[in-house]
Amino acid sequence: MTIPSAEGFLQASSCLPCTAEEERELVRALTREAEENVKDGDLRYLVSKSWWMEWQRYVGFVSCDENGTDQLPQATNRPGQIDNSKLVSAETISGSEEPELRRTLIDGEDYILVPQQVWRRLLQWYKGGPEISRKVVFGNPTHKDYIVDVYPLCLKLIDGRDNSEQNIRISRKAKIHELYLVVCSLMSVEKSEIIIWDYYQKSKSKKLTNLNETLEEAQINMDHEILLEMKVDESSSGFSSRSTNNELALIPLGPSTSSLSIAGGPTISNGFSSGIGSSFSQDNSFSPLLKDSADGYNSFSNGTKDDTHGLSGLHNLGNTCFMNSAIQSLVHTPPLVEYFLEDYTREINTENPLGLQGELAVAFGELLTKLWSSGRTSVAPRAFKSKLSRFAPQFSGYNQHDSQELLAFLLDGLHEDLNRVKKKPYIEAKDADGRPDDEFAEECWNNHKARNDSIIVDKFQGQYKSTLVCPVCNKISVTFDPFMYLSLPLPSTVTRMITVTVFNGTGDALPMPFTVTVQKNGNCRDLTKALADVCCLKSSETLLLAEVYERRIYRYLTNPIEGLHNIKDEDILVAYRLPIGHEKLLRLEILHRRADSLISTGSSLGAPL
């Protein structure tokens, strides 16, 4: 089927309902057109991965399954309404304009992103929701790569007089002046009348007055608190003023609860964010800035003499547990602690083109010093997170990331920032030529140290021996290569347990839950076979698997090769014992409902039959 353009296909498919093939080709055309003409500010919509897979099966969409097949087995049943309810937090108020996403969603596993045009067509065909949109943002206008920030900042605006909170959603790449505009619109005040404070942990840290600074650069993170103060004349203020008429006083502003949302939350995918000034002087004198305002917002114990150094926690800034675990591992490595608690700044290399001009080393050193300060119980690593996001944009935002990937970047960055070698010599690689391993290994290590010499090399790097034998001439080549990370074959769980409630099709037995053990990388056929064994399935019977959501059948698991990775631990599964050939029979779903005087239709209970 040839599709000349999305516009032409839209006209051809304006009459509903479309066939499965027409839906598939239209979505392909719209997606291709949207990607070719993507621009800053375009919208992308979240769609539940489980619903999307049902739709893919219905239209026979391209798949990337583990067997390498190009197409999913086409399903005959049209999927139901779009159901994004699993993406939304339980705290979301029904009917709210801006649903609150669950904080642990993973792109490609829990949801997929589709262009606005595709979402509109899917909504037209299937209805449902809720609608969840995010903005497209380019990190660099000269690059075609873009990022969709699924988790924009959620800030808590504090009314200083009555401590009421109002929620604001805004991109972390938005500038301070944009925050002022949002607050002014929400509170119906003039920009010249207000001052906004960084109010993390109910402490006035600093005024947000640098209007060209982004919220990320200002170290404003998820669930951050900001305080609103308003300038009032002394004669009209209900509060005492100590000096001039321009003294700031706290006054009540607006209702106690409200919310305002700016959809989106731009991130950058290439290059570094701009506008973050260096804290280093031109004479390369690096002195750790050990003031509390560097990271800010630290908690302290009572300061008794029995306080133990290093027993400090790290605040979760929003899905940053991957970063915190890596940091805690490093800051409790004794040689590294001793090194950074001494004068490490004398070894900072600002001339290394592979380094980060020493900024990463200083940020890490300041954080380690705070964690090992006496009496400190917790630290918010905001300044370090800001530096990390600047130099490694892949870790910006509040999505989950791989802890080992961050650890690798951090060790590499620290090594280059602390490399004692200013000018790296050229060294020609030599072969062992039959020399003893210890002699050749020492030579290789000395050559490596001639170009790479830092505390990271001293404590974290080593060599492994590689031996190659030519299959033609049988020449043996031996090399010693440096390494910093080793992938160990640790035993891992390759199985999982799944609980399924089995219903008897004849109704002569009560439903019975069975827990079976299956391979993690298995499929629905494996699950059905395991169930058949434990429930003593007769040769004349078969099992029909289904997923139940909100007391209704959400979907039938009829594709035998569907991977079990699509079934979450919290999903509710049922299986019905039916006679072989039941596909030819009329299928009726019986729902149990409870009479409710407040709800005319009653409420659902139990599992469907």
Task: Tell which wins on pLDDT, 90 or 461.
Answer: 461
Q: Which two tokens stand for residue 523?
A: 């499929």
The pLDDT of residue 94 is 53
pLDDT in tens, 326-336: 999 999 999 99
- Predicted confidence (pLDDT) at residue 299 exceeds the cutoff of 80: no
Q: Where are the domains of the chain?
A: 6-137, 153-261, 292-417, 437-483, 495-605
Q: Is there a contact between 424 and 351 (Cβ–Cβ < 8 Å)?
A: no
Pairing of strands 495-504, 572-579: parallel
Lowest mean pLDDT among 288-302, 366-380, 478-492: 288-302
Q: Looking at per-residue confidence, does 375 or 118 come out higher? A: 118
Query: How much is the mean pLDDT over the chain?
Result: 77
Give, in words, the CATH class of 495-605: alpha beta
| Spatial contact of 225 and 155, defined as CB atoms under 8 Å apart | yes
Domain 292-417: assigned CATH number? 3.90.70.10
Quote the CA–CA distance of 273 and 219 in Å, as a whole number. Answer: 13
What is the spatial distance between Cα 365 and Cα 294, in angstroms, rounded to a whole number? 12
Region 400-415: mean pLDDT is: 90
Residue 239 scores a pLDDT above 70:
no
Confidence of residue 125 (pLDDT cuts 50, 70, 90): very high
pLDDT of amino acid 140: 54
Distances in Å between the Cα of 191 and the Cα atoms of 235, 250, 256, 507, 517 are 21, 16, 20, 70, 62
- In the predicted structure, residue 574 carries a pLDDT above the cut 80: yes
Helix H segments across 452-608?
455-460, 524-534
CATH architecture of 6-137: 2-Layer Sandwich (3.30)
Q: Is the pLDDT of residue 252 over 90?
A: no
Segment 343-354 mean pLDDT: 89
Instruction: Provide the 10 A C-beta neighbour count for residue 585.
Output: 9
What are the angstrom distances between the C-alpha of 74 and each of 30, 49, 71, 118, 122? 21, 17, 8, 21, 18
Nearest Cα residue to 152 out of 140, 166, 135 = 135
d(CA 272, CA 320): 20
Write down the pLDDT at residue 451: 93
Instruction: Say what angle helices 321-331 and 382-391 make with each other, to 10 degrees.
Output: 100
The yes-or-no verdict on residue 377 having pLDDT over 50 is yes
The pLDDT of residue 17 is 57
Residue type, 237: S
| 153-261: in CATH 3.40.30.10 | no
Q: Give the residue, 65 or 271, on which the prediction is more confident.
A: 65
| 495-605 and 153-261 share a CATH fold | yes
Confidence of residue 607 (pLDDT cuts 50, 70, 90): low
CA dihedral 351, 357, 363, 364 (to 10 degrees): -50
Cβ(30)–Cβ(121) below 8 Å? yes
For the full predicted model, state whether its pTM sits above 0.85.
no
Q: Are strands 225-231 and 248-249 parallel, antiparallel or unpaired?
A: antiparallel
Q: How far is CA 128 from CA 17, 81, 84, 85, 511, in A?
A: 16, 5, 8, 10, 31
Residue 462: what pLDDT?
A: 93
